[in-house]
Structure 1
Amino acid sequence: MGFLSFEWDGRQTYGVRQDEGSYLEAPAAFREQFPDLKSVIAAGQLAGLKAAALAQGAVVPAGQARLLPVIPNPGKIFCVGLNYKSHVAEMKRPDADHPAIFVRFADSLAAADAALQRPAFSDRFDYEGELAIVIGKGGRHISQADAFDHVAGYACFNDGTVRDWQRHTHQWTPGKNFPVTGAFGPCLVPADEVGDVNALTLQTRLNGQIVQQASLDDLIFTIPVIVEYLSRFTPLAAGDVIATGTPGGVGDKRNPPLYMQDGDLVEVEITGLGILRNTVAQAA
């Protein structure tokens, strides 16, 4: 069972995903105390949300709601680049002593089932399937030994990239932050339900064709290393999002290149976390 944010009946709300066909909205009294999913996480109340929704939550047919990114209002979104050996090799980059970190803006992300917006002036719009971490307990100078105590849960992520703009200079920020080019969802699965995250498998599909597949055990910089590194230079807070990197198989390094086109369907699936589905459309 996962937690999600969505729009329904003209308002933003949140709740529990029963299955692909319906959700349970958090009861009104619960929402009065915790206005959004980030505040639930900050209070350590995911279990309370589950119990309240199961007991008193309104049933919301999925077709009547519009999903939002799992955390619509994160304080920070970090992304880790070049974090699988297969991706480092295809990018022809040397090994690194520290993780490559960049940031995304919240408005660069779409929810599951939404259309990713390809800029009209670029034909190099690429997929990057990833595992996302959502921070549950904030902190500074978090040790690797304590890192998993600060993780609320996990979700699928697509770090959609406008490659030509990414490569204008050695700074990646422009190519990673066009509005609605990445995706985050469909739901947050709590860490205690996932178990050993290294045992999960990530798969990205473009129009049904498998284009990326890797075990999370293949990460170069593990989750504890990433959390420790980030928290050394900035405080982490509940609801912050960390995308942990993409494996080899990106479209930009295929021969011939394979970029996302208008009308395409891209799917990121991670064991136990559901499927993040998005179509592709040209931005207005």
Structure 2
Amino acid sequence: MKLVTIANNGRSTLGVKTDAGIIDVEQAFMQVPAGTDTPANVMQVIEGGDQAVAALQKYISELPAADATYLLNEDDIEWGPCVTEPNKIICIGLNYRKHAEETNAKIPEFPILFNKFNNTLTGHGRDIAVPKVTQKLDYEAELVIVIGKKAKYVSKEDALSHVFGYCNVNDLSARDLQLRTQQWLLGKSCDDFSPLGPYLVTADEIGDPNNLNIKTTVNGEVRQSSNTSDMIFHCDEIVSYVSQHMTLVPGDIILTGTPAGVVMGYPEEKQVYLKPGDVVTIEVEKLGALTNRFVEETV
């Protein structure tokens, strides 16, 4: 199942992608009442797990096909982040071998963890302001793991059973701020630095998360083109490792690192960082395409 968030007058409502278009679940509820077990927003779906997904699938399958007033065209949607209220945003740094090599970094012995905050969340199709405080805004295509079951001290073998699904993110990074100190947080946590989406795709539709093509285009030019198989620490290892140190709960998201091809990895004379007017698209196989346009900050 592919879930979406619809931004609706300051509220986030649930959508489901179908062959016919996006079903606005809130609008559907107004016409066809649902049972109390049918989730009304994306966090309820994640927290409800398999039962919630099954109830939503059953409800969607029984909607009258002739009535399309709750059916939306993707081009007409104002998108929100496909996970709206993660308890934690955990990031894994330097997790692609070729990316570590391009930045002349040592291959990490253990996963490198840092965090972002909810202020960084935005959606597909939304404009993102280039902060006035940076001259070196960089893109990072990443696969996101969305936790679906509470996880503490889980084994690598059991780790993926705690995953609800996956989505795209652009882990935007202000390199001059990131490298100002030994802590990366400042360069990773400006507003709207984690556009997420367009879809949250349930794990059953993905198969092996460590065999997915991943790509970034900037103004139509391919900048990153790789596969998640180049990860140093694979998705099951990441979930297991993080769970040894903190309890993961449904809705937590883990950004799994970026492949080679970021601006920072180019020779200095060829580094052209993002600027107002640029359009960046992140694509991970089976997860759709996440596109954002960059604009001048006016605050």
> Above 0.5 in TM-score?
yes
Conserved? CA contact 1:267–1:276, under 8 Å: yes
Deviations 1:157-195 (A, max 9, x none): 100011111011010000000001221100111111111
Deviation at 1:38, TM superposition (A): 1.4
| Residues 9 and 18 of structure 1, relative CA distance in 2, 3 Å threshold | farther
Alignment partner, residue 117 of structure 1: 129
Deviation at 1:90, TM superposition (A): 1.4
- Which runs of 5 or more structure 1 residues have no equivalent in the other structure? none
Residue 213 of structure 2 is aligned to residue 201 of structure 1? yes
Deviations 1:16-36 (A, max 9, x none): 0126x8311224355965342
Alignment partner, residue 79 of structure 1: 91
Alignment partner, residue 38 of structure 1: 43
Conserved? CA contact 2:145–2:167, under 8 Å: yes
> TM-score, length-normalised on structure 2?
0.89
| Residues 271 and 46 of structure 1, relative CA distance in 2, 3 Å threshold | same
Deviations 1:72-113 (A, max 9, x none): 111001111000111111111112221001111111122011
Conserved? CA contact 1:41–1:239, under 8 Å: yes
**Residues of 2 paired with 1:109 and 1:282: CA distance?**
18
**Residues of 1 paired with 2:92 and 2:217: CA distance?**
21
Alignment partner, residue 62 of structure 2: 55
Identify which range, 138-147 or 38-47, moves more after superposition: 38-47
> TM-score, length-normalised on structure 1?
0.94
Deviations 1:126-161 (A, max 9, x none): 000000011111121111010110111111110001
Residue 97 of structure 2 is aligned to residue 105 of structure 1? no
**Residues of 1 paired with 2:96 and 2:152: CA distance?**
26
**Residues of 2 paired with 1:32 and 1:108: CA distance?**
32
Q: Which of residues 253, 257, 282 in structure 2 aligns to 1:268?
A: 282
Deviation at 1:10, TM superposition (A): 6.3
- Aligned identity (percent) is 34
Alignment partner, residue 213 of structure 1: 225
Deviation at 1:208, TM superposition (A): 0.8
Q: CA RMSD in A?
A: 1.9
Conserved? CA contact 2:210–2:235, under 8 Å: no
| Residues 154 and 30 of structure 1, relative CA distance in 2, 3 Å threshold | farther
- Which runs of 5 or more structure 2 residues have no equivalent in the other structure? 65-69
Residue 209 of structure 2 is aligned to residue 187 of structure 1? no
| Residues 37 and 234 of structure 1, relative CA distance in 2, 3 Å threshold | same
Q: Which of residues 240, 251, 255 in structure 2 aligns to 1:239?
A: 251
**Residues of 1 paired with 2:190 and 2:238: CA distance?**
25
Q: Which of residues 148, 151, 155 in structure 1 aligns to 2:163?
A: 151
**Residues of 2 paired with 1:172 and 1:100: CA distance?**
11
**Residues of 1 paired with 2:266 and 2:242: CA distance?**
32
Identify which range, 54-63 or 127-136, moves more after superposition: 54-63
SS in 1 for 2:57: helix
Conserved? CA contact 2:209–2:235, under 8 Å: no
Equivalences, count: 283
**Residues of 2 paired with 1:191 and 1:198: CA distance?**
12
- Letter of the 1:91 counterpart: T
| Residues 31 and 209 of structure 1, relative CA distance in 2, 3 Å threshold | farther
Alignment partner, residue 2 of structure 2: 2
**Residues of 1 paired with 2:218 and 2:185: CA distance?**
24
Residue 29 of structure 2 is aligned to residue 17 of structure 1? no
**Residues of 2 paired with 1:36 and 1:30: CA distance?**
13
